[in-house]
Structure 1
Amino acid sequence: MPQAATWVKTFVFILYTYKMLFWRKKTDMEPPEVEAFTQPETEIWPPDGGWGWVICLAAFLTNFTVLGMVGIGGILLIELLDLFNKSLSKTTIIFSVFNGATMFGGLFVSIALKFKASYRQIMMVGGIIAAVSAVASSFAPNIETLIFTYGILVGLSLAVNYFAGNVMLGHYFLKKRALALGIANSGSGFGMFSMNYLTTKIIPFYSVRGTFLLLGGLLLNLTVYGALCRPLKPVIKQSSDISRDERTSVDNMEEAACLAFEPKDEKTDEKYDNSSRRISEDVKPAPRMLQVRQSIASEIVPSDFYSRKTGHCDATIFKNKYFYLLLAIYISNAVGDSMQIYIPVYAASIGLNQERAAVIMAIYGISSIASQLLVGFLADIIHIPTSYLLLATLFSTALGELLIPFCESFETLALCAVLNSIGYYSGISLRIVMTVGILGIEHMTTAYGILTTLIGILYIIYPILNGLVYEATQHFSTVFYLDSAIAFLGVILSCGIVYAQKTGKFVE
Structure 2
Amino acid sequence: MVQQDENSRSASVAGSDINDFAANNSVKTLPEDDYITNHHACSSSADQITEECEERKAPDRGWGWFVVLGGFLVHFIMGGFERSSGVMYLQLLSRYNRSATATAWVLSIFSTLRLLLGPLASAMCNRFSCRFVVMIGAGISALGVLISGFVPAISYMYLTYGVLCGLGRALVYTPSVVAVGYYFNKRRGIAVGISTSGVGFGCFLFPPVIELFFNYYGYSGTFLILAAIISNFFVCGALFRPLELQWKLMEYDRRKKKVTIARESLLDSKIVRKIEKNTSVEDNEHIESQNMSVFKRKLSKIKLAFKSAHTPQTKKPLLEFALFKNFAFCALCMQIFLFTLSINITSLFLPALAKEKGVSNLQGAYLVSILGICDALCRIVVSSFLDLKRVKPYRLFIYNVVMFLTAIVSILLPSMTSFTQFAIVCGLYGMLSGTYISQKSVVIVDVVGVASLSSAFGFLMVAQGLSNLTGSTVGGMFKDFLGTYDWAFYFAAIGIVSGGLAMATGNIWLYRKKRRENHAERNNLN
**TM-score, with structure 1 as normaliser:** 0.71
1:198 to 2:209 alignment: yes
1:112 to partner: Cα distance: 4.1
Which sits farther off after the overlay, 129-138 or 321-330?
321-330
Aligned residue for 2:25? none
Tell whether the 8 Å contact from 2:328 to 2:507 is kept in structure 1 after alignment. Answer: no
Tell whether the 8 Å contact from 1:186 to 1:369 is kept in structure 2 after alignment. Answer: yes
Distance across 1 between alignment mates of 2:319 and 2:64:
34
Tell whether the 8 Å contact from 1:81 to 1:87 is kept in structure 2 after alignment. Answer: yes
How many residue pairs get matched? Answer: 411
Q: For the structure 1 residues 424 and 140, does the alpha-carbon distance in structure 2 shift closer, same or farther, using more than 3 Å as the test?
A: same
Residue type at the aligned position of 1:132: L
Aligned residue for 2:295? none
Aligned residue for 1:486? 495
Aligned residue for 1:185? 196
Query: What SS does the aligned partner of 1:226 have?
Result: helix
Q: For the structure 1 residues 68 and 332, does the alpha-carbon distance in structure 2 shift closer, same or farther, using more than 3 Å as the test?
A: same
Distance across 2 between alignment mates of 1:139 and 1:46:
46
Distance across 2 between alignment mates of 1:81 and 1:55:
38
Provide Cα deviations, 1:329-384, integer angstroms capped at 9, x if missing partner: 22221111221001011111122112211111011111212332354345333627
The aligned runs of 1:446-465 (5 Å cut-off) are 446-465=455-474
Q: For the structure 1 residues 77 and 56, does the alpha-carbon distance in structure 2 shift closer, same or farther, using more than 3 Å as the test?
A: same
Aligned residue for 1:64? 76
1:139 to partner: Cα distance: 0.6
Distance across 2 between alignment mates of 1:71 and 1:171:
27
Which one of 337, 358, 379 corresponds to residue 372 of structure 1?
379
Residue type at the aligned position of 2:144: S
Q: For the structure 1 residues 60 and 331, does the alpha-carbon distance in structure 2 shift closer, same or farther, using more than 3 Å as the test?
A: closer
Q: For the structure 1 residues 186 and 324, does the alpha-carbon distance in structure 2 shift closer, same or farther, using more than 3 Å as the test?
A: closer
The aligned runs of 1:123-272 (5 Å cut-off) are 123-170=134-181, 172-173=183-184, 176-231=187-242, 232-233=245-246, 234-235=248-249, 236=251
Task: Return 5+ residue gaps in structure 2 as ranges.
Answer: 1-39, 256-309, 519-526
1:433 to partner: Cα distance: 4.3
Q: For the structure 1 residues 109 and 333, does the alpha-carbon distance in structure 2 shift closer, same or farther, using more than 3 Å as the test?
A: closer
Residue type at the aligned position of 1:75: V
- Give the share of equivalent positions with the same residue, in percent: 27
1:446 to partner: Cα distance: 4.0
Tell whether the 8 Å contact from 1:335 to 1:486 is kept in structure 2 after alignment. Answer: yes
Tell whether the 8 Å contact from 1:334 to 1:459 is kept in structure 2 after alignment. Answer: yes
Aligned residue for 1:358? 365
Distance across 2 between alignment mates of 1:139 and 1:439:
45
Q: For the structure 1 residues 324 and 358, does the alpha-carbon distance in structure 2 shift closer, same or farther, using more than 3 Å as the test?
A: same
Tell whether the 8 Å contact from 1:335 to 1:459 is kept in structure 2 after alignment. Answer: yes
Query: What SS does the aligned partner of 1:345 have?
Result: helix
Which sits farther off after the overlay, 83-92 or 469-478?
469-478
Tell whether the 8 Å contact from 2:174 to 2:457 is kept in structure 1 after alignment. Answer: no
Which sits farther off after the overlay, 434-443 or 218-227?
434-443
Aligned residue for 1:416? 425
The aligned runs of 1:400-439 (5 Å cut-off) are 400-439=409-448
Query: What SS does the aligned partner of 1:102 have?
Result: helix
Which one of 110, 127, 139 corresponds to residue 98 of structure 1?
110
1:328 to partner: Cα distance: 2.7
Query: What SS does the aligned partner of 2:231 have?
Result: helix
Aligned residue for 2:332? 326
Distance across 1 between alignment mates of 2:456 and 2:240:
28
1:131 to partner: Cα distance: 1.6
Tell whether the 8 Å contact from 2:400 to 2:500 is kept in structure 1 after alignment. Answer: yes
Residue type at the aligned position of 1:342: F
**TM-score, with structure 2 as normaliser:** 0.69
Which sits farther off after the overlay, 171-180 or 482-491?
171-180
Q: For the structure 1 residues 130 and 69, does the alpha-carbon distance in structure 2 shift closer, same or farther, using more than 3 Å as the test?
A: same
Tell whether the 8 Å contact from 2:189 to 2:387 is kept in structure 1 after alignment. Answer: no
Distance across 2 between alignment mates of 1:324 and 1:50:
35
Task: Return 5+ residue gaps in structure 1 as ranges.
Answer: 1-32, 240-298
